[in-house]
A = this chain, B = another copy of it.
Amino acid sequence: MQTTNASQTPITLRPIGVIRSPHMVAEKTPIQPVFAANIRGTAELQDEYDEGLVDLDGFSHLWLIYVFHQAGEQRLTVKPFLEDVPHGVFATRAPCRPNPIGLSLVRLVRREGRILHLEDIDVLDGTPLLDIKPYITRFDVRDGARCGWQEHVDDETAQQRGRRGFQG
């Protein structure tokens, strides 16, 4: 069956560009955009993708999908940054996943050709960018979601641990 094969076939992706940021050290990089408020960076796409960015600047927020290129070896059980309790890696956003794909919701300040000026950047400098999608409220917001172990982490602790020493 075609579908069965597809679900087992490795897929090779080519970065569409690179993310530039002031974060040079993985251990000091905020773990989410909400802990990286106002930190500026850029996404620099390769020339050939310029046309694909038309009308992107109507959106205030973007999903960046990228490679955790310094994630290290995969682990199936991890202690997340926000809590000292181990969880299955798929119940966390930790980088050391079987497929090291990152997902960050950042602010688009402006587009300058194939350069996107961004804020709330929680991504290491030099990160390979795989895709950009617009944040669309009607698609991406759910009211009253249950958030498992995350609900036991209070906001102050989250801010403190999530920033990882970054002084913004």
Contacts and interface: CB of A to CB of B under 8 A. Distances in A.
Interface of A: 1-4, 6-18, 32-34, 49, 51-61, 63, 65, 67, 69, 76-77, 87-93, 97-99, 101, 103, 105, 124-142, 144-151, 155, 158
Contacts of A126: 1-4, 6-7
Oligomeric state, in copies: 2
A154 to B, nearest CB: 11
A63 B149 contact: no
Contact of A76 (B6, B17, B51, B142): B51
A7 to B, nearest CB: 4
Given A67-B11, A93-B134, A142 B6 contact: no
A103 to B, nearest CB: 6
A15 B4 contact: no
Contact of A61 (B33, B60, B133, B142): B142
A103 B103 contact: yes
Given A7-B126, A88-B52, A148 B59 contact: yes
Contact of A130 (B51, B60, B101, B129): B101
A136 B34 CA distance: 11
- A-B interface, 5 closest residue pairs, ranked by CB to CB distance from nearest: A3-B126, A58-B148, A54-B88, A7-B18, A60-B146
Nearest to A97: B131
A119 to B, nearest CB: 12
7 contacts: A52-B89, A53-B91, A61-B145, A101-B101, A105-B139, A134-B147, A138-B155
A146 to B, nearest CB: 4
